[in-house]
Amino acid sequence: MEEMKCPTCGCQSFYVKDPSDEHEIYVFTCPEGEVCFEAEISVAEAPQVEDDTETYCNNCSWHDSFKKVKIDFK
């Protein structure tokens, strides 16, 4: 199975913002449809990424709910 991609540019890297600090971001990829944060982010500090979580492309200006990436992936 391939990785989820940005619907605009095809980048496979995304990020979400920390709900309590908009300047803190968490970068992740989605191999085989599973959210995988960067190695330096512990499971305990990683935010939950749900269908309605605002998700940003790490390469271009695209952003939408995580559900949109999942829909384009299928």
Distance CA 19, CA 11 (A): 24
State pTM to two decimals. 0.87
Enumerate the domain spans of the chain.
13-73
Distance CA 26, CA 38 (A): 8
**The pLDDT of residue 12:** 93
Q: What is the pLDDT of residues 16-50, one digit of tens each?
A: 998 888 899 999 999 888 899 998 888 888 889 99
pLDDT above 70: residue 2: no
pLDDT above 70: residue 72: no
